[in-house]
Amino acid sequence: MGEHPTTDEDFHRLVDSIYESALDVAAMPAALDLFSRYTCTGSPRYLIWDKLAGHARLGVTPHGCFTSGASMPDWLPGPLDLPHAGACCAPNDAPALACDGAAALVASHHGGMADAATAALACSGLEQGIRLIENAEVCVLMSGTSAGSISVGQRERRLAHVMPHWVRAARMQQRNFELSGLASLGLAGLDTLDFGVMVLQADLRVRYANSWAEALVQADGHLSLQGGVLRAHSETLQAVLRKLLDGAMRARGTEAASGSWMHITSGGQPVPIIVTPLVSRQPVEGPWQLPAAMMLFGNSESRSVLDAGVLTSLFGLSRKESIIAVRLAAGETLNEIAEREFLSPHTVRVHIRDTLRKTGTHRQSELVRLLHLLPGVNLERASVTPAVRPRAPRPRAA
């Protein structure tokens, strides 16, 4: 394992590495290596066990990180049943856990001073595996063996100084995982929308854009993203964007109406732009504290209204009735529906009549209003018509 660091500088370097690993999993092997040399712990192992799935989410040694079943080393457990009474599954070669030791570590960390007996109790369980944190979903374990290069008392003291930092770092890491997962899910949801969403600062710097907004700007010769800043290629449109954004910034914290503008893309498509203040329900830190507004780009070519399968399950419509209802909500006329679905206008009227009866509506306008209350999704899911995405401008004929 090499020479064992003994100075305060080595200790602080180790602690810095521990907290760095909480933010970046790739830094964990280096942190475990420093931990191994500082505390004379052989084969240090860090394990995040998924209690609900019954397998490891992450395993780390000084040699690397392991996240897939195929790459997990032999010391990681298989999908075993978790013990009862709040206990947690441990590596195969460490069936017992020093549960009281982990609790003592947390208590000494939050309570300040701890006596030598408590410190010894907290660290003596490392060989069996110490539970750093545990909740309903995960259990974070750390284990290792004594290398014996320093006295037992000296190793206990070093472990007592270091382990509370591992506990805190493990909590930070799990919180970061939770926030990252929530953010990914939220952004994935925004990408499914069939209209553009942008979050901008007062200087038109784009903090976020969903896939539709990015595609729209890329296809539109009148707009561009230069260095992460939304730019209009004409002074008139640039002035409009700034005016809309300034109005939203001034309206922050109020219920003022948002500004709007009908933009004509370089391809000739009308795109409604709506800008509204963006206010978080919770305190926001970092660069997101800057004034921000949300800009929505309408999709004038969208055939996206709702999923025909939803209508079938909600109202008991037949497949054909659901598709006709979807087309009605998308603004198609009776003759257009008949032509697209290869039906006679009379047959379409019969389907609409039956749909009105099943949905409890009396007129087509009532039916359309009802359908627009349902969540919008792409009609491609309903196998009705392919999705329409922003089109690049057609080259002019010579």
Domains and CATH numbers, the chain: 8-185 (3.30.450), 192-297 (3.30.450.20), 308-376 (1.10.10.10)
Structure tokens given for 263: 């933009």
Question: Is the pLDDT at 222 greater than 90, yes or no?
Answer: yes
CB 37 within 8 A of CB 1: yes
Rg (CA), the chain: 30
Say what the alpha-carbon torsion angle 323, 325, 329, 333 is, to the nearest 10 degrees: 90
Question: Is the pLDDT at 376 greater than 70, yes or no?
Answer: no
What is the percent of the chain with per-residue pLDDT over 90, rounded to a whole number?
Answer: 38
Average pLDDT on 89-114 reads 37
Q: Which residues pair with 232 in a beta bridge?
A: 223
Vertex 377 angle, CA 374 and 381, to 5°: 125
Question: Is the pLDDT at 389 greater than 50, yes or no?
Answer: no
The winner for highest mean pLDDT among 243-252, 292-301, 363-372 is: 363-372
Residue 37 has phi, psi (to 5 degrees) of: -75, -35
Average pLDDT on 336-355 reads 94
CB 140 within 8 A of CB 57: no
CB 53 within 8 A of CB 43: no
How far apart, in Å, are the Cα atoms of 151 and each of 15, 25, 121?
A: 22, 31, 16
Name residue 107's amino acid.
A
Question: Is the pLDDT at 239 greater than 80, yes or no?
Answer: yes
Q: What is the pTM of this model?
A: 0.61
Average pLDDT on 239-258 reads 78
Model pLDDT, residue 70: 53
- Dump pLDDT digits (tens) for 278-331: 877 666 666 556 678 899 998 765 544 566 777 888 899 998 999 999 888 888
31: left (phi over 0), alpha (psi -120 to 50) or beta: alpha
